[in-house]
Amino acid sequence: MKRMLLRFILLVPALLMIAACDTSLTVGRKTIGIRSGEFLYTDGYLRATYTFPFEKVWSACDKTLTDLKATDIERNRKIATGTLSALIQDDKVRISVEYVEKEMTSVSVMAGPSGSTLASQLIHDRITTVLKNP
């Protein structure tokens, strides 16, 4: 009983520290991270979920690449998913758009060869701006 109580006492502060900060976990070659509760970082892709329909998010991602003066844009779109690949200042950028439900769409961004979190977040910020100000 004392061991169980001790584990509980040690577990609570650890969970509070994890919940309040940016955190990541690496197992083998896989990395998963949570940032501010809204971004999920997995294997170089920074993922966020938007409360907009798939069509609107797809258009916002395309407009974001155009606004950032991307070159060699490749669009591959299916019914509920799509990918955009482009070069922005000689860095390859990959954006995956995925239908989640009627008013919810998931977007994953990888910028650079192994995934720059800062560049990916800037692209997500630009997508958010385009969605809010069409």
Of 78 and 24, the structure prediction assigns the larger pLDDT to 78
Q: Is the pLDDT of residue 40 over 80?
A: no
Q: What is the pLDDT of residue 114?
A: 72
Model-wide pTM > 0.75: no
Residue 81: partners with Cβ closer than 8 Å, 6 or more residues away: 96, 97, 98, 99
Q: How confident is the model at residue 17 (pLDDT cuts 50, 70, 90)?
A: low
Q: What is the pLDDT of residue 4?
A: 66
Q: What is the pLDDT of residue 2?
A: 65
Which CATH number among 3.50.30.30, 3.30.310.220, 3.40.50.720, 3.40.50.620 corresponds to the domain 24-132? 3.30.310.220
Q: Is the pLDDT of residue 35 over 90?
A: no
Residue 50: partners with Cβ closer than 8 Å, 6 or more residues away: 57, 104, 105, 106, 107, 127, 128, 131
Q: What is the pLDDT of residue 133?
A: 85
- Confirm if 99 and 81 have CB atoms less than 8 A apart: yes
Q: What is the pLDDT of residue 12?
A: 56
71-77 vs 81-88, strand pairing mode: antiparallel
Q: What is the pLDDT of residue 116?
A: 75
